[in-house]
């Protein structure tokens, strides 16, 4: 889709002053499906969990963090990653659970780096509390993974007005795909919406404002509403 681009004047600080409402390139709304599979790795103790964290595929790290975060937006119970939830519910380790839950996926653009952070937390805990390593958990932790299939939708935005309309009508799975999972794909502490607003529309401040939205204390519908409010402010 080709659109006409109007110009935008930027100040010497690089912030927007007269934003253009037409985009250099259109934004294509996609969504994704996840085909879950159970791996051969499982843990009945914290020591085994540590070994499995070191050996599991990166898909498992993604499944038990980013995918669990999506589910957390619907159920709003427990912790936003499976490792923290298991440490509390199955191992009765509230302190460790809090540390694991404190890992903010927004700070990572690499699953290997995210894995290392969990390994670091668990290894440090076991160094301080040797007896915890061999305690049998009440439930087994099964490492799962998922094959991701990106699915196009019929929604395309060539202007800011169309973009807002797309944000309102897109499924929450599409919002999660573009706003949360995207940072692993683009390898930046950003998201698809912000990248498009910055690179193709020239709304740098709006892009930055989206990156500051808290994805942990709100449902995906709340996140959507916050995104829409931020973007609509750029139209005034």
For the chain, what are the domain ranges? 22-32+149-233, 37-145
- pLDDT at position 10 over 80: no
Average pLDDT on 119-136 reads: 98
Render pLDDT for 149-180 as a digit per residue (tens, 0 to 9). 999 999 999 999 999 999 999 999 999 999 98
- pLDDT at position 21 over 70: no
Least confident of 47-56, 84-93, 94-103, 208-217: 208-217
Cα–Cα distance measured from residue 133 to residue 135, given in angstroms and rounded to the nearest whole number: 6
Strand 141-159 relative to strand 22-43, pairing: antiparallel
Render pLDDT for 59-91 as a digit per residue (tens, 0 to 9). 999 999 988 777 654 445 567 899 999 999 999
- pLDDT at position 57 over 50: yes
Average pLDDT on 110-135 reads: 97
Cα–Cα distance measured from residue 51 to residue 97, given in angstroms and rounded to the nearest whole number: 18
Evaluate the CA torsion angle 85, 87, 91, 96 in order and state its sign: negative
Structural tokens at position 74: 């619907």
Tell me, what's the pLDDT at 101? 93
Residue 174, judged by CB atoms within 10 A of its CB (0-12, 13-18, 19+), counts as: buried
Q: Average pLDDT over the chain, rounded to whole?
A: 87
pTM of the model: 0.78
DSSP structure string for 89-106: HTT--HHHHHHHHT--GG
């Amino acid at each position: 889709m080709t659109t006409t681009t109007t110009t935008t004047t930027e100040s010497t600080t690089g912030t927007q002053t007269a934003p253009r409402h037409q985009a250099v390139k259109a934004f294509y709304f996609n969504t994704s499906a996840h085909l879950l599979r159970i791996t051969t790795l499982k843990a009945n103790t914290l020591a085994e969990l540590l070994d499995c964290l070191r050996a599991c595929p990166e898909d498992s790290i993604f499944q038990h963090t980013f995918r669990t975060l999506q589910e957390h937006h619907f159920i709003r119970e427990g912790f936003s990653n499976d490792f923290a939830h298991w440490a509390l519910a199955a191992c009765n380790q509230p302190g460790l659970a809090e540390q694991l839950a404190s890992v903010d996926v927004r700070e990572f653009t690499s699953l290997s780096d995210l894995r290392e952070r969990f390994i670091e937390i668990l290894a440090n805990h076991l160094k301080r509390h040797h007896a915890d390593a061999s305690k049998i958990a009440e439930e087994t932790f099964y490492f799962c993974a998922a094959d991701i299939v990106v699915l196009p939708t019929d929604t395309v935005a060539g202007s800011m007005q169309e973009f807002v309309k797309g944000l309102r009508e897109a499924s929450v799975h599409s919002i999660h795909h573009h706003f949360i999972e995207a940072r692993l794909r683009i390898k930046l502490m950003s998201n698809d919406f912000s990248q498009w607003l910055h690179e193709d529309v020239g709304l740098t401040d709006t892009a930055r404002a989206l990156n500051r939205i808290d994805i942990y204390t709100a449902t995906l519908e709340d996140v959507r509403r916050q995104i829409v409010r931020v973007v609509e402010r750029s139209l005034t």
